[in-house]
Structure formats: C-alpha cells, structure tokens
C-alpha cells in the first residue's frame, strides 16, 4: 500500500509540474521510476509517456475553456512535430546519440539564457491569466526573438485578413514567424524521437521566443499538443506489453489529480516565477544531456 501511495504521489508531482510548465512531466517520471523505484528504463519511459498524455488531457481541457490554449495553432504545429518525429525515428540508428545530446545541451543553454534575459511586463487588462506579448530584450537579445513582438502595439489581427498566420492568432496576441515555428516544431519532433525527451522543452521556447506567444499561452498550447505526440508513442509501448498496469495505474491517478488541480490554479502563479522555473528546468535537462554526451554508454 505504501508503494502504491508513493507512486501516486510521484505522479501527482509530475502532473502538477507538467501542467504548469507545458512539459508533460516526463522529465520527472522517468528518473522517479527508473532511479527511485528501480523500474526497467523502457518501462519507465512507457509509463512516462502515459503520464504525459494524462497531464495533457487533464490540463488542456481547462486551458481550452479559459482561452489559453490555441487549438488551431496547436494542430498546425503538431503536423510538423509528427513529421519530425517520423524523421527522427528513421534516422535514430544512424546518428551518434552522444553528439546529438551535446548539441541539444548547447541549444538548451542558449534558450535558457534567452528566456532568463526577458524583461517581464505587467499584464494589461484581459482575461484571467492573460499576459501581453513578450517584451523587448534588454541588452544583446538573441536573434530568435521576433522584432515584431517587441512592438507593444501588437494586437488582434485585422478581421479582413485571411492568411493562415492571422487565422492562428489568439485573443490578445498575434502569431509571428510561422515558417520558423513550423521548422522548430519539426525539430521538436526529431529531438523527441532521438533523445526521448518531451517535445515541450522545445515547443514552449519556440512559441514564446520565436513566434511571439505569451508564456502562458505557450505552455497551455504545448500541453495540448504534447498529448497528441505522446499518445502515438504510448500506443506502441502498450501494444508491445511494455506497460505494467499495477505501476501505471497509481502513477496516472496521481498525474490526473496533479495536472487538473495545477491547471485550475496556474493562472495565479506569476509569469516571472513561471519563467524562472522553466529556465531552471532547461538548465537541469541541459546538464542531463551533457552527462549523457560525456558518459560512455554502458549496456545500451
């Protein structure tokens, strides 16, 4: 019974964390199950994928109703992500994983610095949890940032426009650099397939830094789309009997509760806090990737 409760508690933490940051919680579930409970790595990954789906579904329902998650944009970006995931799966065996991990670590540090150097702006009038478009960087802004989002006048798109980009705009923000966003979302799929990390670690910075979405909208939309990506992989694991229901059930019960509760209260978390937690997580994952790059592979 104690073991069941511990698994549920771990799932609760992962669900809360994933729903808050748009990361799905896989960053927590895999080490928790593999290192904390001694579960085989493959089984830990399988249950982690299920937890990502659970987090996504439980929190996305809330975020959609609040107008935070952008369904249209999510579907468009998800197309690129799935294509990237297929490509990643095809080339996975032809590339040196350690080289990729090193490259990914450098990219994560770069993105973490970009996010940390953002200037936080007080929300203007709008829906609960609304946040103005990202403001200008202070000093040496990375080139990923769309100059258009530095203009405080960015607002709803003109109603007469019928371009794809305009049709993807949110209630109080525009979508910029759609081609770049699609390319980076494809990259998120590749990275996800090659390195076994959640696409959210790439998607949230892509939407926030490159496409100009507010951070809350980015995490909410990432939550929505991650479940779609993870479900395809999860189905494969379930079909291959890699999921132990006695372990998965308590973890998922905790995940559902954590994600649902966090989604309801996430708008009370200040954006600055959200940003710094995300930066810390990016640096933590970057460290993991560096270790993966420099540590000789044993038994893999």
Binding residues (CB under 8 A) for other proteins: these are 1, 3-4, 7-8, 37-40, 50, 53-54, 56-58, 60-61, 64-65, 67, 71-72, 75-76, 78-79, 82-83, 85-86, 89-90, 164, 167, 227-228, 230-232, 234-236, 238, 240, 243-250, 252-253, 256-257, 260
Question: Taking the complex as a whole, how short is the minimal distance between the CB of residue 298 and other proteins, in angstroms?
Answer: 19
Cβ-based nearer residue to other proteins, 46 or 293: 46
Cβ-based nearer residue to other proteins, 8 or 108: 8
Question: Taking the complex as a whole, how short is the minimal distance between the CB of residue 259 and other proteins, in angstroms?
Answer: 8
137 phi and psi angles, rounded to 5 deg:
-75, 155
Cβ-based nearer residue to other proteins, 147 or 245: 245
Rounded to whole angstroms, how far apart are CA atoms 266 and 55?
Answer: 14
Cβ-based nearer residue to other proteins, 114 or 262: 262
Question: Taking the complex as a whole, how short is the minimal distance between the CB of residue 252 and other proteins, in angstroms?
Answer: 5
- Could you tell me if 110 and 248 are in contact, meaning their C-beta atoms sit under 8 angstroms apart? no
Question: Taking the complex as a whole, how short is the minimal distance between the CB of residue 65 and other proteins, in angstroms?
Answer: 5
Cβ-based nearer residue to other proteins, 6 or 109: 6
Question: Taking the complex as a whole, how short is the minimal distance between the CB of residue 180 and other proteins, in angstroms?
Answer: 18
- Could you tell me if 71 and 275 are in contact, meaning their C-beta atoms sit under 8 angstroms apart? no
Cβ-based nearer residue to other proteins, 84 or 212: 84
Question: Taking the complex as a whole, how short is the minimal distance between the CB of residue 117 and other proteins, in angstroms?
Answer: 33
Question: Taking the complex as a whole, how short is the minimal distance between the CB of residue 140 and other proteins, in angstroms?
Answer: 37
Cβ-based nearer residue to other proteins, 111 or 169: 169
Question: Taking the complex as a whole, how short is the minimal distance between the CB of residue 60 and other proteins, in angstroms?
Answer: 6
- Could you tell me if 115 and 145 are in contact, meaning their C-beta atoms sit under 8 angstroms apart? no
Rounded to whole angstroms, how far apart are CA atoms 231 and 294?
Answer: 31
Cβ-based nearer residue to other proteins, 114 or 260: 260
């Amino acid at each position: 019974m104690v073991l069941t409760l511990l698994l549920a508690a771990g799932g609760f933490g992962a669900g809360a964390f994933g729903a808050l940051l748009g990361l799905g919680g896989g960053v927590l579930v895999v080490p928790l199950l593999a290192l904390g409970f001694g579960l085989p790595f493959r089984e830990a990954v399988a249950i982690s994928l299920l937890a990502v789906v659970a987090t996504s579904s439980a929190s996305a329902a809330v975020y959609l109703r609040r107008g935070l998650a952008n369904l249209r944009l999510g579907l468009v970006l998800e197309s690129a992500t799935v294509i990237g995931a297929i490509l990643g799966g095809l080339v996975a065996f032809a590339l040196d994983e350690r080289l990729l991990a090193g490259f990914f670590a450098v990219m994560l540090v770069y993105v973490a610095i970009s996010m940390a150097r953002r200037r936080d702006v007080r929300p203007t009038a709008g829906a609960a949890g609304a946040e103005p478009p990202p403001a200008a960087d202070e000093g040496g802004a990375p080139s990923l940032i769309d100059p258009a989002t530095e203009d405080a006048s960015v607002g709803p798109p003109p109603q007469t426009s019928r371009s794809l980009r305009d049709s993807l705009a949110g209630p109080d923000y525009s979508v910029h650099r759609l081609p770049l966003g699609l390319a980076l979302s494809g990259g998120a799929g590749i990275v996800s397939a090659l390195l076994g990390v959640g696409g959210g670690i790439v998607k949230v910075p892509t939407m926030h830094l490159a496409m100009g979405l507010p951070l809350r909208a980015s995490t909410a939309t990432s939550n929505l789309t991650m479940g779609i990506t993870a479900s395809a992989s999860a189905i494969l694991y379930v079909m291959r009997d890699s999921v132990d229901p006695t372990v998965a059930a308590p973890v998922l019960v905790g995940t559902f509760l954590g994600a649902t509760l966090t989604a309801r209260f996430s708008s009370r978390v200040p954006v600055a806090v959200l940003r710094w937690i995300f930066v810390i997580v990016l640096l933590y994952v970057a460290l993991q990737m560096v270790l993966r790059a420099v540590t000789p592979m044993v038994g893999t």
